[in-house]
Amino acid sequence: MCFYYIPSMRPSRVVINLSNFEANIETARRQLGGTKLLAVVKADAYGHGAVAISSRAVACGVDWLGVGIVEEGIELREAGIRAPVLILSQELEERVEEIIQYNLFPTVCSRNFLESLNREGKRQKKVVKLFIMLDTGMGRYGVAPDEFIYFLKRINSIDWVKIEGVMSHFPVAGVDYQFTSEQIKRFKSLIQTAESMGISIPVRSIANSAAFLEGKNSVIDMARLGLILYGISPIKDMDPGGYLPVMTVKSKISFIKNIPPGHSVSYARSFIAKRPTTVAVVPIGYADGYDRKLSNKGWMMVKGARAQVIGDITMDATMIDITDIPEVKIGDEVIIVNHLITAWDMANTIGTIPYEIVCRMGKRLPRLYI
């Protein structure tokens, strides 16, 4: 007789609702009309799993995928994904061989990087299609406005590179309408100048999730949508509307104990019980992405009730107070993130942004796709 070991899944896990993700893409496409849609899948699709999310996005008709670094693009290619993949930031010159080998679209904003792409394209006998990042006010990557036309002319003067598109980025969309409007005007004006000189720019893109939600004035040829496709508003206190939450993080109670008044919990004795307290241990910690700054501030859901995080969050475990929640037992489900405890709830508690909350849910947490 043969026995096969079937490993069980870790109780702390990330559940990804692909039906909700599909619905969000459908909502975005309906609002965009015929405008192209780039789904941002960098940072492991904001913690949702880049390969699974990208595969589903492409199946739903998304036109482009956006990654942050070369390795993320290679991961998609090696998973068999053939859709256009744009690297949203300029890489170092030493990465040009891989960029071209894996048919990734680079973002370019420096002369040296452009020349390196041209040389490597010639070596590999491939014309490199690229995007130019135009700095209209972000102050990060980007060609300066007064250098933009010269940069375009230089691209058109060399043989192994070709302009696929021009994009820019907003620092305060959804917050500062006037500054954002000035960026849009600057972007459109420079594009018009280039096209009046006979320079072809197939794709023009400046809209991110926040600008897209604020209005269509920023949507030109392609919207680059990230957080909103995962059902999270990029704008504080704005309801995501018809966009549905995609991620749920859950676990199970692994241990329960009763402590008397004066007894402390966890490192640094940052929590000392003022009453007889029932403590439940949840096997998720800062090594999994559950931020240590939620110590004594965060909360989880047990049996539909809020349970306060008590004591310092540790690498592998978090303690919660279940004193006032009846009939809790080991193995009961604990909700860490969902529509009741949103990424914004957690971000507001510790003074950060929801991007950081979901991106931190690391690969130590298994993902279950439903």
Domain boundary residue among 171, 200, 230? 230
Same domain, yes or no, for 187 and 287? Answer: no
> From its phi and psi, is residue 47 left (phi > 0), alpha (psi between -120 and 50) or beta?
left
Active site residue 267: yes
Same domain, 310 and 217: no
352 touches 1 (CB < 8 A): no
List pLDDT tens digits, range 182-209: 999 999 999 999 999 999 999 999 999 9
Range of the domain at 325: 247-369
pLDDT, tens only, 274-293: 999 999 999 999 999 999 99
d(CA 171, CA 81): 30
Quote the DSSP letter at residue 35.
S
Q: How far is CA 203 from CA 38, 63, 78, 192, in A?
A: 11, 12, 26, 13
Asked if 74 and 173 sit in the same domain, the reply is: yes
Cβ atoms of 68 and 43 within 8 Å: the answer is yes
The helix (H) or strand (E) run that includes residue 182 is helix 177-196
Q: What is the pLDDT of residue 4?
A: 47
Task: Tell me, yes or no, whether 7 lies in a domain.
Answer: no
Specify if 294 maps to a domain: yes
Same domain, 72 and 186: yes
**Within this chain, do residues 195 and 326 fall inside the same structural domain, yes or no?**
no
Note the pLDDT tens digit of each residue in 152-186: 999 999 999 999 999 999 999 988 989 999 999 99
Residue 216 has pLDDT above 70, yes or no: no
Question: What is the chain's mean pLDDT, rounded?
Answer: 95
Q: How far apart (Å, rounded) are the C-alpha atoms in residues 300 and 249?
A: 10
- Verify that 29 and 105 share a domain, yes or no: yes
Residue 89 corresponds to which tokens in the numbers above?
């930031």
| Domain's final residue, options 179, 205, 230 | 230
Is 42 tagged catalytic? yes
Residue 359 placed within a domain: yes
User: pLDDT-based confidence at 6, cuts 50/70/90?
Assistant: very low
**Same-domain check for residues 217 and 73:** yes
Q: Give CA 40 to chain center in angstroms.
A: 7
The percent of residues above 70 in pLDDT, for the chain, comes to 98
Whether the Cβ atoms of residue 63 and residue 97 lie closer than 8 Å to each other: no
β-pairing, 247-252 vs 255-259, is unpaired
Could you give the number of structural domains in the chain?
A: 2
162 with 272, same domain: the answer is no
Q: Which of 185, 257, 267, 363 is catalytic?
A: 267
Kindly report the CATH number assigned to the domain that includes residue 288. 2.40.37.10
Distance CA 213, CA 173 (A): 9
What is the layout of strands, in order, in the sheet containing 318-321?
255-259, 277-282, 318-321
d(CA 120, CA 122): 5
Q: What is the pLDDT of residues 320-353, one digit of tens each?
A: 999 999 999 999 999 999 999 999 999 999 999 9
Q: Which of 205, 230, 255 is the last residue of a domain?
A: 230
pTM for this predicted structure: 0.93
Residues 226 and 252 in one domain: no
